[in-house]
Amino acid sequence: MNTAFSGQPVLDPNAFRGDFPILNQEIHRQKPLIYFDNAATTQHPRQVLHAMDQCYQHTYSNVHRGFHWLSEESSRLYEEARVAVQKFINARWPEEVLFTSGTTLAINTVARSWGDQNIKAGDEILLSIMEHHSNIVPWQQLAERTGAVVRFFGITDDGLPDLEDYARLLNEKTKVVGISAVSNTLGTFLPIAEISAKAHEAGAVVVVDAAQHVPHAPTDVIAWGADFLAFSGHKMLGPSGVGILYGRRELLESMPPFLGGGSMIDMVTTEGFTPGELPAKFEAGTPPIVETIGLAAAIRYLDGVGLNRIAQHERTLAAIAHARMSEIEGLTILGPSPEHKCGIVSFVVDGVSAQDLSILVDLQGVAIRVGHHCTMPLHNYLNISASCRASFYLYNTAAEVHRFVDVLQEILPRLR
């Protein structure tokens, strides 16, 4: 684990639940809703909804180049959001923060722009077997275009990255190391600074998928040595449709723009075009204006709660879940013990369909995720086709975890 939580004041989720209207409802014949699908997407506090509503009602206009008041206000709020993100991840410059539609587009931008310019036949791209498809498929596509080779390093029996396997596969041909800061299936925290240092010794560029880390624990791109880093607003209390690509300034400046169109240019003639300066050259078209403002409000909210407190709270909930679920016969929890993970608990039950289990759990008011979680290579590596995933956040309570396990104990006899 790469963040210390000792000495942090305990987080009381009940102090924040009132900010989330969606959680205060009953479903399926008066069953209180328990939302444990936070790794897929989180809910929105009133503060984020209010910030977006205020923009639509009072300041909405397209950003940049407009000289009327509404455009200037929207532009100001939009660029203030960029600075908020810069500070949130400890980037050196606001220009190193690019707004995208999400993690997927961010990683595709690196693969298309930096990758097409720098990768050639015989080069190697090294990924962990835990990666989300959005940090696998763009590199496979790059390999198809260039003749490069994609390799994977494994995990240990207890769900931690196999750093010996990583060191064995890392060599002078490795040009990219793509790595998740937290596994979206196992919940494993990865030692990004250590992985980055070794990658840089080999001359490789490090691309970090931080979609599951940024919402849950402090993120420092400088301390990590990340060359690129991607994450999404909708996994951190913000709206969907907005995400971030961080890139070291010298890398971004050397890269050609990925998408062409309005806003990303300095000059266009009938003979060609000149791209704009950072960050404009990577933000073609009308950006997600209101969503970006909502993301800034989400950052303010998370700063107010405290990311260290959130991480500590999630670990407490994961520990409760581990302790109680371990008592259920035939149930196997995937991944490491709670001290090495965030608030993600994925599991399988012998002889029980993950989909059937999820349906019956939902009928008792508990929302979990089922399937391969966009990590099919990991599931194949573990020799399972699907798993169930409960994922916690700052508004979840210990009582909800106990209720979830009680539900499992009630329904499993019917499924066996």
Contact at 8 Å (CB) between 239 and 48? yes
Show the beta-strand stretches assigned E in 3-44. 26-27, 31-32, 34-35
CA dist 227 to 111, 149, 159, 199, 272, Å? Answer: 13, 20, 26, 11, 30
Q: Are residues 230 and 292 in the same domain?
A: yes
Residue 264 falls inside a structural domain: yes
Residues 6+ apart with CB under 8 A from 124: 148, 149, 150, 151, 171, 173, 174, 175
Q: Classify residue 2: in a domain, yes or no.
A: no
Q: Are 96 and 255 in contact (CB under 8 A)?
A: no
Read off the tokens for 281.
């050259």
Pick left, alpha or beta for residue 173 (phi over 0 → left; psi -120 to 50 → alpha; otherwise beta).
alpha
End residue of a domain, out of 280, 303, 326: 303
Angle of CA points 165, 128, 396, to nearest 5°: 125
Q: What pTM value is reported for the model?
A: 0.97
Catalytic residue among 55, 342, 374, 388: 374
**Within its chain, how far is the Cα of 158 from the centroid?**
22
Question: In terms of domains, do 337 and 216 share one?
Answer: no
The residue among 303, 333, 354 that closes a domain is 303
pLDDT at 10: 92
- Please confirm, yes or no, whether 342 is among the known catalytic residues: no
Domain count, the chain: 2
CATH of the domain at 274: 3.40.640.10
Handedness of CA 145, 147, 152, 153 (dihedral sign): negative
Give the model's pLDDT for residue 219.
Answer: 98
Q: Whole domain around residue 200: which residue ranges? A: 48-303
- Both tokens of 353, joined, read 């369909």
For residue 6, the one-letter residue type is S
Is residue 323 domain-resident? yes
Q: How far is CA 187 from the centre of its chain?
A: 11
Q: For residue 5, tell me if it sits in a domain.
A: no
Residue 3 in domain: no
184 within a domain of the structure (yes/no): yes
Specify the pLDDT at position 9.
82
SS3 215: coil
Per-residue confidence (pLDDT) for residue 236, from 0 to 100: 98
Residue ranges for the chain with pLDDT beneath 50: 1-6
- Other residues' Cβ atoms within 10 Å of the Cβ of residue 24: 10
Residue type, 204: A
- Is residue 226 domain-shared with residue 108, that is, in the same domain? yes
pLDDT, position 2: 42
pLDDT at 161: 98
The pLDDT, as a whole number, for residue 1 is 42
What is the pLDDT, as a whole number, of residue 4? 43
pLDDT in tens, 361-379: 999 999 999 999 999 999 9
CA distance 206 to 317: 32
The answer to whether the bond into 138 is cis (omega within 30° of 0) is no
User: What pLDDT, on a 0 to 100 scale, did the predictor assign at position 26?
Assistant: 97
Last-in-domain residue among 303, 318, 351: 303
38/271 Cα distance (integer angstroms):
49
pLDDT of residue 394: 98
In this structure, the answer to whether residues 395 and 273 fall within a common structural domain is no
Burial 116-147, CB ≥16 within 10 A → b, else e:
eebbeeebbbbbbbbbbebbbbbbeebbeebe
